[in-house]
Chains A and B, each alone.
Chain A
């Protein structure tokens, strides 16, 4: 079930939120939570019935490992449990996501391809597996000696029950595509311990943010996506202008698609009285690659920093610019591979890793450039490297990047007009609006934070939902990009 389907919007969401509100008002814990868990299971089975077994096994296994770690008094054995848990999770991800890439690459290098059944790609496996890894690390009871590691291994204040763990992992707003959420952030909320503002106000804010996310996805992202789909894989020899239009469309598509999804996820969570991490903060206005990663897929950036970069950096011994740069590049390559089982993703990650390392050097040498130039360089880099996420092969991506460099014909647009489906005016209007919104307006989170219940915000929210429904009614729903990651 997609967040932007009529079934979700008109039936699932109102029923889930409505019944949850009634249960909250009339019953005590855990009944509202039981209802959310039931809704989450229904949500997941509607999309992928066959994968429910995998999700259930993952919940049971990781909860059992965490319990075993807590119960074990021998520190060495505890560490063994942690490693078993991490190994099983990573192996699961490998078997479902990377085995075909691995075998294909071996076959490419050495000859015949080893047979291995294609089990398909279980929905949400990338996200819930990472969350389980974070859970195991957070549940590790002994805080190591160093300050950095103590910060990482803060552990859980108290053990969670199997029911709570199932509620945490399977929570439908973030289960499929994040934001990656830590158990210690959600657990107190699941127990109803923390409330930062009145529930009704939180629900209004949630609906307001949800309507912005919905419009971002179906009005803006899908329009950019249609243009990007026409351009990738390259079907003609593009002019410089055409290559840039397709590359920028791919970047804006990914941004509006995933940030729209994240807004919807956060909005629904707020409607259910649970706060989850913010995932985007106007990343296309970043003036450096480091700033970009502080604004783009923020929950993943935290994961990369805390669970990949820091352990890698620490394992390298001597602290220096070289080890930091190496750890950055390796961590980004791994994170990129997590996005998709293809070498194009690795290439994208390495590019970003190298850029981040370069930025470390830049900062270390106290070099500076004007803000506008810094933004332009960052944005050009993001636009150029995005082709790795769209192109079918590294060669194709490099070819497309070559077309981004000024060449003749510079401004020809015959291929663009020929490849885009008519009526093209319907595409270009949302695209124009999207570009203006991305560069000149605040992020949807800014508006959500400043939200006050008023007629203006009520009608704005309603207008966005109705406009989105008209767009939803105009074309078959496009899946979220990150569902495939």
Chain B
């Protein structure tokens, strides 16, 4: 083989392989980035952060009108049961507001999202780190061929062969097995200290997110999730102090749904709703979503009345 032919062969092989890998992945399009998403039901597979970020760029704004921004606490809330909104659950396990802000920015990069349900919980402002990947626009390139995509196909094959059940539904909700979530080390530390630690960068990001949503005229539904009465007893005052600081960010037209308020006490006094005091059992998650559905319906009706009266 002559050196010239060798060079041509090697370069051509690289080009053909790159085009083939990219072409196949564009055709399969597991993140809904390249084809029309009309009628598609795409589940999170592989790395949930990569998947939710990439799905948020096109699939989410094209198929949904609202997003739920939260952490593992809200990851198993079945948002398809909310009657009047098409919600995508952007909650991530161990999420910080920094990561969730990246998901909001991705989802709002195209028109489609008009309401954001924003969890109010110290877990979101505890740290300002990206846990596994930097969720940024350059990540879009990974949809053409990457290790995270390889993990997606592996998950699909496992499910197709019956070796595993899908973990997420098409609206981003994660299905926990009963008692799967033991309180992790961070959460333990959070609840075992006197006050809630707040990362100033994360706190500022939370305030910025609210400001940005307001600037874009996106309606915000603040949700204070239930915490088991047993766990809450030692930190009720600290939590109220924390909530009070964020309550100042609520604007006219926003909703503040507080699951810790006395009328909803049945939810958090029943320990059976929780797997670890913070995360919900499937039954507990269903109960939360039922009440959330009622509260959102109520809020939407009141909002409609205001619009009608104007």
Which residues of A approach B to under 8 Å, CB–CB?
198, 200-201, 203-204, 207, 418, 421-423, 426, 453-455, 457-459, 461-463, 465-466, 469-471, 473-476
> Contacting chain A: which of B65-73, B75-83, B112-120, B128-136?
B128-136
Asked if B9 is at the interface of the complex by the 8 Å CB criterion, the answer is yes
CB within 8 Å of A: which B144-202 residues: 144-148, 150-151, 185
Chain B residue contacts of A466, Cβ below 8 A: 14, 17-18, 21
Chain B residue contacts of A463, Cβ below 8 A: 13, 17
From B13, B47, B134, give the contact of A423 (CB < 8 A): B47
Chain A residue contacts of B17, Cβ below 8 A: 462-463, 466
From A200, A426, A455, give the contact of B9 (CB < 8 A): A455
Q: Which residue of B lies closest to A476 (CB)?
A: B134
Chain B residue contacts of A204, Cβ below 8 A: 3, 6-7, 10
Asked if B1 is at the interface of the complex by the 8 Å CB criterion, the answer is yes
From B4, B47, B142, B144, give the contact of A200 (CB < 8 A): B4
From B9, B18, B146, B185, give the contact of A474 (CB < 8 A): B146
Bound complex: CA of A461 vs CA of B10, how far in Å?
7
Asked if B2 is at the interface of the complex by the 8 Å CB criterion, the answer is yes
From A207, A422, A476, give the contact of B47 (CB < 8 A): A422
Asked if B217 is at the interface of the complex by the 8 Å CB criterion, the answer is no
Chain A residue contacts of B9, Cβ below 8 A: 455, 458-459, 462
Bound complex: CA of A207 vs CA of B14, how far in Å?
12
Contact status of A207 and B10, CB under 8 A, knowing A200-B4, A422-B132, A453-B5: yes
Q: Are A475 and B47 in contact (CB under 8 A)?
A: no
Asked if B141 is at the interface of the complex by the 8 Å CB criterion, the answer is yes
From B13, B18, B47, B151, give the contact of A458 (CB < 8 A): B13
Q: Are B6 and A457 in contact (CB under 8 A)?
A: yes
Contact status of A462 and B13, CB under 8 A, knowing A470-B146, A474-B142: yes
Which residues of B approach A to under 8 Å, CB–CB?
1-7, 9-11, 13-14, 17-18, 21, 47, 131-134, 138, 141-142, 144-148, 150-151, 185
Bound complex: CA of A438 vs CA of B1, how far in Å?
30
Q: Which residue of A lies closest to B145 (CB)?
A: A470
Q: Are A473 and B13 in contact (CB under 8 A)?
A: no
Bound complex: CA of A57 vs CA of B183, how far in Å?
59
Q: Are A469 and B18 in contact (CB under 8 A)?
A: yes
Extra contacts, 17 of them, besides A421-B131, A474-B142 (Cβ < 8 A), are A200-B4, A201-B3, A203-B7, A204-B3, A423-B47, A426-B151, A455-B1, A457-B6, A458-B1, A459-B13, A462-B9, A463-B13, A465-B14, A469-B18, A470-B146, A475-B133, A476-B138
Chain A residue contacts of B2, Cβ below 8 A: 200, 453
Distance in Å: Cβ of A35 to nearest Cβ of chain B: 19
Q: Are A470 and B147 in contact (CB under 8 A)?
A: yes
Bound complex: CA of A465 vs CA of B145, how far in Å?
13
Distance in Å: Cβ of B189 to nearest Cβ of chain A: 13
Distance in Å: Cβ of B47 to nearest Cβ of chain A: 7
Chain B residue contacts of A459, Cβ below 8 A: 9-10, 13
Contact status of A458 and B10, CB under 8 A, knowing A421-B132, A426-B147: yes
From A198, A421, A473, give the contact of B141 (CB < 8 A): A473
Q: Are B3 and A198 in contact (CB under 8 A)?
A: yes
Q: Which 8 A-B pairs have the closest CB atoms?
A: A462-B13, A453-B6, A200-B3, A474-B147, A474-B146, A458-B9, A458-B10, A453-B1
Chain A residue contacts of B142, Cβ below 8 A: 473-474
Q: Are A462 and B146 in contact (CB under 8 A)?
A: no
Chain B residue contacts of A473, Cβ below 8 A: 141-142, 144-146
Bound complex: CA of A453 vs CA of B9, how far in Å?
10
Chain A residue contacts of B131, Cβ below 8 A: 421
Q: Are A470 and B1 in contact (CB under 8 A)?
A: no
Chain A residue contacts of B3, Cβ below 8 A: 198, 200-201, 203-204, 453
Bound complex: CA of A201 vs CA of B2, how far in Å?
8
Bound complex: CA of A8 vs CA of B170, how far in Å?
39
Bound complex: CA of A453 vs CA of B132, how far in Å?
41
Bound complex: CA of A203 vs CA of B4, how far in Å?
9
From A461, A462, A469, give the contact of B145 (CB < 8 A): A469
Q: Which residue of B lies closest to A430 (CB)?
A: B147
Q: Which residue of B lies closest to A202 (CB)?
A: B3
Contact status of A454 and B1, CB under 8 A, knowing A462-B14, A473-B142: yes
Bound complex: CA of A453 vs CA of B10, how far in Å?
10
Bound complex: CA of A475 vs CA of B142, how far in Å?
8
Most buried by A among B10, B18, B141: B10
Bound complex: CA of A475 vs CA of B47, how far in Å?
12
Q: Which residue of B lies closest to A454 (CB)?
A: B1
Bound complex: CA of A454 vs CA of B150, how far in Å?
30
Chain A residue contacts of B4, Cβ below 8 A: 200
Chain B residue contacts of A426, Cβ below 8 A: 147, 150-151
Bound complex: CA of A387 vs CA of B169, how far in Å?
45
Bound complex: CA of A459 vs CA of B131, how far in Å?
37
Bound complex: CA of A244 vs CA of B36, how far in Å?
50
Most buried by A among B17, B142, B145: B17
Q: Are A454 and B6 in contact (CB under 8 A)?
A: yes
Distance in Å: Cβ of A322 to nearest Cβ of chain B: 52
Bound complex: CA of A418 vs CA of B148, how far in Å?
20
Q: Can you identify 19 A-B contacts, CB atoms within 8 angstroms?
A: A198-B3, A204-B7, A204-B10, A422-B132, A453-B2, A453-B3, A453-B6, A454-B6, A458-B6, A458-B9, A459-B9, A459-B10, A459-B13, A463-B17, A466-B17, A470-B146, A470-B147, A474-B148, A476-B138
Q: Which residue of A lies closest to B144 (CB)?
A: A473
Distance in Å: Cβ of A199 to nearest Cβ of chain B: 9
Chain B residue contacts of A423, Cβ below 8 A: 47, 151
Q: Are B6 and A462 in contact (CB under 8 A)?
A: no
Chain A residue contacts of B145, Cβ below 8 A: 469-470, 473
Chain A residue contacts of B6, Cβ below 8 A: 204, 453-454, 457-458
Bound complex: CA of A471 vs CA of B142, how far in Å?
9
Distance in Å: Cβ of B23 to nearest Cβ of chain A: 13
Distance in Å: Cβ of A474 to nearest Cβ of chain B: 4
Distance in Å: Cβ of A448 to nearest Cβ of chain B: 14
Bound complex: CA of A207 vs CA of B8, how far in Å?
12
Q: Which residue of B lies closest to A473 (CB)?
A: B146
Chain B residue contacts of A474, Cβ below 8 A: 142, 146-148
Bound complex: CA of A423 vs CA of B132, how far in Å?
9
Bound complex: CA of A132 vs CA of B185, how far in Å?
53
Bound complex: CA of A474 vs CA of B151, how far in Å?
11
Chain A residue contacts of B11, Cβ below 8 A: 462
Chain A residue contacts of B138, Cβ below 8 A: 476
